[in-house]
């Protein structure tokens, strides 16, 4: 509605037209008469109405990509997943036939399919499906943010995957690795046979085994995350939606005693560190341990495996001890029981079912059964 204000200079009353914009702010215009103010307000409301009914789907593919990455970074996804997403979307922008400065909706299905076909051909179907997932999620995010609308025009069918099963070490191989883990070779070890001792590596392996923790959770473990009196450990994870969360899990007595010894040893050289596991070479927490595992496996003479494989090994050990599936899921901290099932490398239920059906008796070959039936008829 138009309002009147008194001009402080002329002491005369003046009319002002006023409307509220969609963002909540108000816009005013000085007019000569009340009728002129009403006409201006009516005209502006009509324009705003036309703009609200006009679809705003003109955001460019490059802008959509940039804003999606900014939103995911602010959300707090893991650095590794963010870098993977950034790499995929960058390759998409540079792909043949893609025009980054044109509206995202103009990128057609055929162009995206050819891009993913090339990834599947040069790399693998599994990798192409990862690219596909990042691209589709960008469109879905755009819809939630009001930047895109409707069904995704890039809905390419999934590719066939031929995935090699992850190698899970046996318990014997793990303990063989554990026994030699604290012996670190240097440049003179080959000639002198003398190894440097780094006992914290054994504690690190034991922590992975007894907590079933993810690599980032254990490497970023801080002293404040250890509650020795209550015998529990706090593990932080960024894998779930909605940022970083933590879970308190039980601390076994063996791990409890080992961690106390480890922290006492570590305090001598690194008294002020807040981390539980410190790289002796840098004095800071570990940023990468992939080569460490490769060297330790080679030195122990076992087939190479990574820290994440120890998480699978813990699940398998629990399964072999007939721990209920719900308890294993709680220890692994999975949201879905299907995820836990993929970690367990046994067919516990199938064995029971087959035994119930066939028993443990001798299986009669089909030909023998036919001969016996023929003799009975004769």
Query: pLDDT of 354-376, one tens digit each?
Result: 566 665 544 445 454 445 555 55
Instruction: Report the interhelical angle of 171-180 vs 290-300 (nearest 10°).
Output: 100
- Which tokens is 377 given? 């008829």
- What class, spelled out in words, does domain 171-345 have in CATH? mainly alpha
Residue 238, helix vs strand vs coil: coil
Find the mean pLDDT for residues 35-55: 75
pLDDT at residue 231 is higher than 90: yes
Query: pLDDT of 239-250, one tens digit each?
Result: 555 567 889 999
Asked if residues 112 and 157 have their Cβ atoms less than 8 Å apart, the reply is: no
| pLDDT for position 245 | 82
pLDDT at residue 264 is higher than 90: yes
Contacts of range 153-160, beta carbons closer than 8 Å, 24 or more positions apart: 153/105, 153/107, 153/108, 153/109, 154/107, 154/109, 154/112, 155/109, 156/109, 156/112, 156/113, 156/116, 156/132, 158/129, 158/132, 159/116, 159/120, 159/125, 159/126, 159/128, 159/129, 159/132, 160/125
Rounded Cα distance, 328 and 314, in Å: 9
Q: Measured on CA atoms in the order 303, 309, 314, 318, is the torsion positive or negative?
A: negative
Rounded Cα distance, 298 and 4, in Å: 86
Residue 60, helix vs strand vs coil: strand
Higher pLDDT, 61 or 337: 61
**Per-position DSSP letters for 159-227, written without gaps between them:** PP---PPPP---HHHHHHHHHHTTEE--TTHHHH---EE-THHHHHHHHHHHH---HHHHHT-BGGGEE
| pLDDT for position 260 | 96
Q: Which helix (H) or strand (E) holds 343?
A: helix 337-343
The model's pTM:
0.64
Rounded Cα distance, 306 and 278, in Å: 19
**Per-position DSSP letters for 262-283, written without gaps between them:** HHHHHHHH-TT--BSSB-TTTS
The overall average pLDDT reported for the chain is: 84
| pLDDT for position 54 | 47
pLDDT at residue 350 is higher than 70: no
Find the mean pLDDT for residues 135-157: 93
What is the CATH T-level fold of the domain 61-144, as seen in this structure?
DNA polymerase; domain 1 (1.10.150)
Rounded Cα distance, 16 and 38, in Å: 9
- Which tokens is 52 given? 């609200």
What percentage of the chain exceeds 90 in pLDDT?
48
Rounded Cα distance, 27 and 13, in Å: 19
Query: pLDDT of 13-25, one tens digit each?
Result: 888 888 887 767 7
What percentage of the chain exceeds 70 in pLDDT?
84
Place of tokens 């026994």: 179
Instruction: Report the interhelical angle of 79-93 vs 61-75 (nearest 10°).
Output: 180
- Which tokens is 13 given? 């009353």
| pLDDT for position 5 | 82
What residue ranges in the chain does DSSP mark as E strands?
Answer: 3-6, 13-20, 26-31, 183-184, 196-197, 226-227, 232-237, 245-250
Place of tokens 């702010």: 25
| pLDDT for position 163 | 72
The region, left, alpha or beta by phi > 0 then psi within -120 to 50, assigned to residue 363 is beta
Asked if residues 172 and 129 have their Cβ atoms less than 8 Å apart, the reply is: no
- Which tokens is 339 given? 């995820």
Residue among 191, 192, 221, 223 nearest 204 (CA): 221
Query: pLDDT of 174-203, one tens digit each?
Result: 999 999 988 876 654 445 555 677 889 999
Least confident range of 13-22, 66-75, 219-228, 369-378: 369-378
Measure CA 356 to chain center. 40
- Which tokens is 73 given? 């970074």
- Which tokens is 63 given? 């802008």
Residue 289, helix vs strand vs coil: coil
Q: Which helix (H) or strand (E) holds 64?
A: helix 61-75
- Which tokens is 375 given? 């003799």
| pLDDT for position 195 | 60
Most confident of 33-42, 102-111, 156-165, 363-372: 102-111
């Amino acid at each position: 509605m138009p309002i009147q204000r008194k001009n402080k200079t002329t002491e005369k009353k003046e009319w002002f037209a006023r409307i509220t914009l969609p963002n909540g702010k108000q816009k005013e215009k000085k007019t000569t008469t009340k009728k002129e103010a009403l006409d201006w307000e009516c005209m502006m409301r009509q324009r705003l109405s036309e703009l609200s009914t006009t679809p705003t789907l003109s955001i460019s593919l490059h802008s959509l990509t940039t804003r999606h990455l900014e939103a995911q970074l602010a959300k707090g996804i893991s650095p590794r997943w963010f870098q993977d997403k950034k790499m995929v979307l960058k390759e998409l922008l540079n792909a043949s036939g893609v025009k980054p400065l044109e509206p995202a909706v103009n990128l057609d299905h055929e162009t995206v399919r050819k891009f993913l076909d090339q990834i599947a051909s040069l790399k693998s179907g599994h990798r192409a499906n990862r690219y596909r997932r990042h691209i589709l999620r960008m469109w879905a995010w755009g819809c939630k943010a009001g930047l895109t609308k409707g069904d995704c025009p890039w809905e390419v069918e999934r590719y066939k995957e031929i995935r090699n099963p992850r190698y899970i070490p046996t318990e014997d191989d793990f303990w063989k690795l554990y026994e030699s883990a604290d012996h670190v070779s240097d440049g003179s070890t080959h000639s002198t046979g003398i190894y440097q001792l780094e006992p914290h590596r054994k504690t690190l392996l034991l922590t992975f085994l007894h907590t079933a923790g993810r690599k980032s959770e254990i490497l970023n473990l801080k002293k404040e995350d250890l509650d020795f009196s209550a015998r529990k450990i706090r593990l932080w994870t960024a894998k779930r939606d909605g940022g970083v969360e933590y879970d308190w899990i039980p601390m076994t007595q063996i791990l409890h005693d080992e961690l106390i010894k480890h922290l006492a040893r570590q305090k001598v050289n690194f008294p002020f560190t807040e981390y539980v596991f410190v790289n002796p070479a840098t004095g800071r927490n570990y940023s990468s341990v992939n080569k460490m595992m490769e060297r330790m496996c080679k030195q122990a003479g076992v087939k190479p495996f990574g820290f994440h494989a120890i998480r699978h090994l813990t699940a398998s050990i629990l399964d072999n001890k007939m721990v209920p599936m719900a308890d294993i899921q709680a220890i692994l901290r999975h949201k879905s029981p299907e995820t836990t099932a993929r970690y367990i490398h046994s067919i516990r239920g199938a064995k029971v079912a087959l035994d119930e059906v066939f028993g443990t008796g001798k299986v009669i070959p089909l030909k023998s059964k036919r001969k016996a039936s023929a003799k009975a008829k004769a």
